[in-house]
Amino acid sequence: AQERYASILDLPAQAKCGSVISLHMNAGLMADLPSLTSSGAEGVGLFRTELQFLVRNQMPRRMELAALYSRVLDAAHGKRVVFRTLDIGSDKVLPYMKPTDEPNPALGWRAIRVGLDKPGVMRMQLQALIRAANGRPLAVMFPFVAQFEEFRAARAEMDKTLAREERLGHVLPSRIEVGAMLETPSLAFAPKKFFEEVEFVSIGGNDLKQFFFAADRENELVRRRYDTLNLSFLNFLQGIVERCEETGTAVSFCGEDAGRPVEALCFGAIGLRTLSMRPASIGPVKSLIRRCNLDEVREIIEQARERGDMSVRPAVMDYIRAQHS
The residues binding Mg ion (CB under 5 A) are 183, 204, 207
Among 33, 36, 43, 48, binds ligand PEP (CB under 6 A): 48
Binder of residue 150, out of ligand PEP, Mg ion, none (CB less than 5 to 8 A by kind): none
Least Cβ distance, residue 26 to Mg ion (angstroms): 11
Q: Helices marked H in 213-248 — which ranges?
A: 231-247
Report the residue number, 157 or 257, with the smaller CB distance to ligand PEP: 257
- How far apart CA 186 and CA 16 sit, in angstroms, is 35
Binding mask 59-88 for ligand PEP (x = CB under 6 A): ----------------------------x-
Report the residue number, 46 or 269, with the smaller CB distance to ligand PEP: 46
- Cβ neighbours of 241 (radius 10 Å): 19
How wide is the angle at C-alpha 132 spanned by C-alphas 126 and 136, nearest 5°? 105
Q: Where are the beta strands (DSSP E) in 164-210?
A: 176-182, 200-203
Binding mask 256-295 for ligand PEP (x = CB under 6 A): ----------------------------------------
The CA–CA distances, whole Å, from 188 to 73, 91, 207, 247 equal: 31, 25, 13, 13
- How far apart CA 143 and CA 255 sit, in angstroms, is 12
The CA–CA distances, whole Å, from 100 to 40, 200, 204 equal: 42, 32, 24
Contact 280, 39 (CB under 8 A): yes
- How far apart CA 70 and CA 117 sit, in angstroms, is 27
Least Cβ distance, residue 226 to Mg ion (angstroms): 17
Report the residue number, 203 or 269, with the smaller CB distance to ligand PEP: 203
Least Cβ distance, residue 296 to ligand PEP (angstroms): 28
Residues 6+ apart with CB under 8 A from 96: 57, 58, 59
Binding mask 8-47 for ligand PEP (x = CB under 6 A): --------------------------------------x-
Q: Determine, following the binding rule CB under 6 A, whether residue 179 of this chain makes contact with ligand PEP.
A: no
Binder of residue 42, out of ligand PEP, Mg ion, none (CB less than 5 to 8 A by kind): none
Contact 288, 261 (CB under 8 A): yes
Binder of residue 254, out of ligand PEP, Mg ion, none (CB less than 5 to 8 A by kind): ligand PEP
Binding mask 127-166 for ligand PEP (x = CB under 6 A): ----------------------------------------
What single-letter amino acid sits at 58? Q
Residues 6+ apart with CB under 8 A from 305: 231, 235
Among 73, 254, 266, 282, binds ligand PEP (CB under 6 A): 254
Q: Which of 182, 64, 46 is nearest to 125 (CA)?
A: 64
Which 197-236 positions form the footprint of ligand PEP (CB under 6 A)? 204-207
Binding mask 88-127 for ligand PEP (x = CB under 6 A): ----------------------------------------
What is the bridge-based pairing of β-strands 138-142 and 200-203? unpaired
Least Cβ distance, residue 53 to Mg ion (angstroms): 16
Among 124, 183, 200, 261, binds ligand PEP (CB under 6 A): 183
- Cβ neighbours of 80 (radius 10 Å): 15
What single-letter amino acid sits at 100? T
Binding site for ligand PEP (CB under 6 A): 46, 48, 87, 183, 204-207, 254-255
